[in-house]
Amino acid sequence: MNAVAPGAYHIWTIGCQMNEADTRRLAARLEALGWREAADPDSADLLVLNTCVVRRQAEDKALGRLAQARAQKRRRPDRIVALMGCLVGERMDPALRERFDFVDVFLPPSDPGPLLRRLAAADAAEAPGEAPLPARLRRSVRAHVPAVLGCSLACAYCVIPYRRGPERSRPAGEILDEIRALLAQGVREIVLLGQIVDRYGLDRPDAGVNLAGLLRSAARLDGLRRLRFLTNHPRYLDAALIETVADEPRICPHFVMPFQSGSDAVLARMRRGYTAEDYRARVAAIRARLPEASIQTDIIVGFPGETEADFAATANLLEELRLDKVHIARYSPRPQTWAARRLPDDVPAEEKERRRAALDAIQTRILSEKNAAFRGRVVDVLVEDRDPRRGRWRGRTPCDRLVFFEAPGNPRGRIVPVRIRETAPFSLIGAAESANPTPP
Ligand code: SAH
């Protein structure tokens, strides 16, 4: 097929950090082929919709955006429309071609190949990205880098294994090359991604590398200031990983370890492979070695058969553990999953919302108490950008607390000591301690 003359592109993205990373990587490849980001999304010659289906709500938003794209395509038939991500999936349902007959190219998650081949001569499309940040992200301090693609665990509620395919660890050399290229473009913090990032390397026993080894190699790269990783699974996050985090100053003491439910009966039906007691033990192991570590979690409310007593167990665990951030989702059945096929969605929508709001209230109170302890303290903030509304600088602590602060000059990309003056449940506010932030 002939190459398409480059023009203006727009990528619409919804969903997890993996989708954001997929969008970044695709945008960089498009720009390497001469495309530029459209100033006005409606005028783009190429529209890419990068979709998520992990919850019903996300899928509905993607379907809404697709309906809009269909109408626009009628007015502008020459526009190229590409559908990407989890709505397409690794093994695409052929019925999608009929359902979305106005879509020109379908891309599985994390694979820009079909679009790049359509736009350019095949070999140009395969060229590795020397500049992995597209123009819009050139001043980014943080970038997400996929380490493990797909997932082979079959949690009863989760559609990801069906859409992102089986677990595949990327070769360490490839990941480190991508990180080096990002650092060369000014990135200072890297977040390694995987559905169960702790399982990095287990599918490549011959390569002899695990997450701890990958983190140690990445932590030593020139220019890097901070390294994070997510998502952890309570069954696979082990003592060696905790030791590595404790040993390497650039690896942040920050864990994202979903517990999903505090009820053992629900956890068993979810097929998560651990009990509430196992989860408590993991939290205790992290805190024994890293007392200040930030531990974030995900919870699903209203999973099939979740009784008031099951929910109370979840609320009690949340209350007891005093974690540092929580994503609370109301259960929605997802196609192909074991729960959708076998378990009736029997908790009414209003009850799911009541449970979500109750957990939200508990966690907001915990965070306002935990954050209040920071008043008067000095924290190290890696500066990301300036809050355009209030003109203050914005960044994060190693434990992922969001900080707004005043500082002279332009401290972007540096680690600045900030004395905290005010606190709120979701942020800290203060001022830079010294006029001389650490040199880059
Ligand atoms: N691999 C990670 C995250 C997967 S998706 C893990 O091991 O948990 C991110 C979050 O979405 C999950 O942690 C879960 O809380 C939520 N989620 C996944 N499927 C869901 C569903 N069917 N309904 C509601 N929330 C869901």
Q: Are 47 and 71 in contact (CB under 8 A)?
A: no
* 264 Cα to the center of ligand 1, angstroms: 17
* 57 Cα to the center of ligand 1, angstroms: 13
Q: Are 28 and 143 in contact (CB under 8 A)?
A: no
| Rg value, the chain, Cα | 22
Q: Whose CA is nearest to atom 11 of ligand 1?
A: 54
Mutate to test the pocket of ligand 1, among 298, 306, 318, 337 (most ligand atoms within 8 A of CB): 298
**How many Cβ atoms are within 10 Å of 60's Cβ, its own excluded?**
12
Which ligand 1 atom is the nearest neighbour of the CA of 151? 1
What is the distance between the terminal CA atoms of the chain, rounded to a whole angstrom? 47
Cβ(331) – ligand 1 distance below 6 Å:
yes
Cβ(423) – ligand 1 distance below 6 Å:
no
Mutate to test the pocket of ligand 1, among 18, 54, 342 (most ligand atoms within 8 A of CB): 54
* 158 Cα to the center of ligand 1, angstroms: 6
Cβ(298) – ligand 1 distance below 6 Å:
yes
Which ligand 1 atom is the nearest neighbour of the CA of 330? 24
Query: Which pLDDT score is estimated for 391?
Result: 87
Local confidence pLDDT in tens for the 440 residues of the chain: 568 999 999 999 999 999 999 999 999 999 999 999 999 999 999 999 999 999 999 999 999 999 999 999 999 999 999 999 999 999 999 999 999 999 999 999 999 999 999 998 666 655 556 789 999 999 999 999 999 999 999 999 999 999 999 999 999 999 999 999 999 999 999 999 999 999 999 999 999 999 999 999 999 999 999 999 999 999 999 999 999 999 999 999 999 999 999 999 999 999 999 999 999 999 999 999 999 999 999 999 999 999 999 999 999 999 999 999 999 999 999 999 999 999 999 999 999 999 999 999 999 999 999 999 999 999 999 999 998 888 899 999 999 999 999 999 999 999 999 999 999 999 999 999 975 555 55
The alpha helices in 290-404, defined as continuous H runs, are 308-321, 338-342, 349-372
Cβ(258) – ligand 1 distance below 6 Å:
yes
Q: Which of 285, 277, 364 lies closest to 324 in space, CA to CA?
A: 364
Cβ(158) – ligand 1 distance below 6 Å:
yes
* 260 Cα to the center of ligand 1, angstroms: 8
Cβ(236) – ligand 1 distance below 6 Å:
no
Host H or E run for residue 26: helix 17-32
Q: Which of 228, 132, 251 lies closest to 180 in space, CA to CA?
A: 132
Assign residue 160 a region: left if phi > 0, alpha if psi is -120 to 50, beta otherwise?
A: alpha
What domains sit in the chain, N to C, each tagged with a CATH number?
A: 8-120 (3.40.50.12160), 141-252 (3.30.750.210), 254-372 (3.30.750.200), 378-432 (2.40.50.140)
Instruction: Name, in order, each residue with C-beta under 8 angstroms of 87's C-beta and a sequence gap of 6 or more.
Output: 51, 52, 53, 59, 62, 96, 163
